[in-house]
Amino acid sequence: MVTGVHHSWRYAVSESLNTLISLAIDEDLAGGVDVTSHATIPEDQESTALFVTRGAGVIAGTEAAIAVLEYLGISSHEVLVSDGTFVSADTVILKASGKTRQLLLAERTTLNFLTHLSGIATETKRWVDAVSGTHCLIRDTRKTTPGWRLLEKAAVRAGGGTNHRLSLSDAALVKDNHIVAAGGVLKAFELVRAKYPNIPIEVEVDTLDQLKSVLVAAPDLILLDNMSPEMCHAAVAITAGVSKLEASGGITLSNALSYAQSGVDYLAIGALTHSAKALDIGLDLTMGI
């Protein structure tokens, strides 16, 4: 179940990206100019910028990089490596030509997008590779950088992962605090289903007894919270295909395969977005176009 991906996705990404770029450039200039470039570089000087990987990884964020260049009036550019591609170090992934001052103004913001999003894609691939050979999918969470959610979730897809809901309005996820507030797991589920009959509902359980109690309602998905691989295996047997199962909590790269082999459908991994190490990418400038 991949929720929240619909026809307005690309428009939403574009709007979010435009806002982020504007904020980033305004933050860099702080109402002034790039004093170093203005002092050392003639206004009409032109250059070519090569965006080069310094380490191996999966590329993501090229659309964001191009958007930064175009925001600053740099229209001559070429993406040489598409998102989702694994590359070695010293690979040129993007080329742009234009006024040197504008290229250098674009440098940090462009690299911030590329390195962060490629880092997420690379981390996601590690997890996807870790459960290779099973039917289990690696899925992200809402543990994203404020304002960056659409971009970070796109990077997860570039790395071979799949997306959970994009927002609180896409689907319901009945968690422990909802259960406490509603007076029980089944009661919470029934309240959501009554008010929003057409949306997907996921219910979090942390014991096998809770799992059994909610199965009578056949939710779309059940989140197994902080269960061991052995408990997940038991949950799969109990569920018998009535609902899809997602494991979350206590999962690491070293035990991911054990969880996947339990038979669950998804592993929810917050680290894809909140802890991914940036992929090292640099900009190399050459004079002339």
Task: Give the start-to-end residue ranges of the domains of the chain.
Answer: 9-125+276-287, 129-274
Question: To which residue do tokens 């669950």 refer?
Answer: 264
Task: Give the CATH superfamily of 129-274.
Answer: Aldolase class I (3.20.20.70)
Q: Distance (Å, rounded) from C-alpha 118 to C-alpha 151?
A: 11
Q: Do domains 9-125+276-287 and 129-274 have the same CATH topology?
A: no
Q: Is the dihedral of CA 257, 270, 149, 95 positive or negative?
A: negative
Q: Are 124 and 58 in contact (CB under 8 A)?
A: yes
Backbone angles phi, psi at 91, to 5 degrees: -100, 130
Catalytic residues: 108, 143, 175, 204, 225
Q: What is the pLDDT of residue 257?
A: 98
pLDDT in tens, the chain (289 residues): 444 444 455 556 677 898 999 999 999 999 999 999 999 999 999 999 999 999 999 999 999 999 999 999 999 999 999 999 999 999 999 999 999 999 999 999 999 999 999 999 999 999 999 999 999 999 999 999 999 999 999 999 999 999 998 889 999 999 989 989 998 888 999 999 999 999 999 999 999 999 999 999 999 999 999 999 999 999 999 999 999 999 999 999 999 999 999 999 999 999 999 999 999 999 999 987 7
CATH of 9-125+276-287, one of 3.40.50.2300, 3.40.50.300, 3.90.1170.20, 3.40.47.10: 3.90.1170.20
Question: Which among 42, 60, 20 is positioned nearest to 156, based on CA atoms?
Answer: 60
> Helix, strand, or coil here: 174?
strand
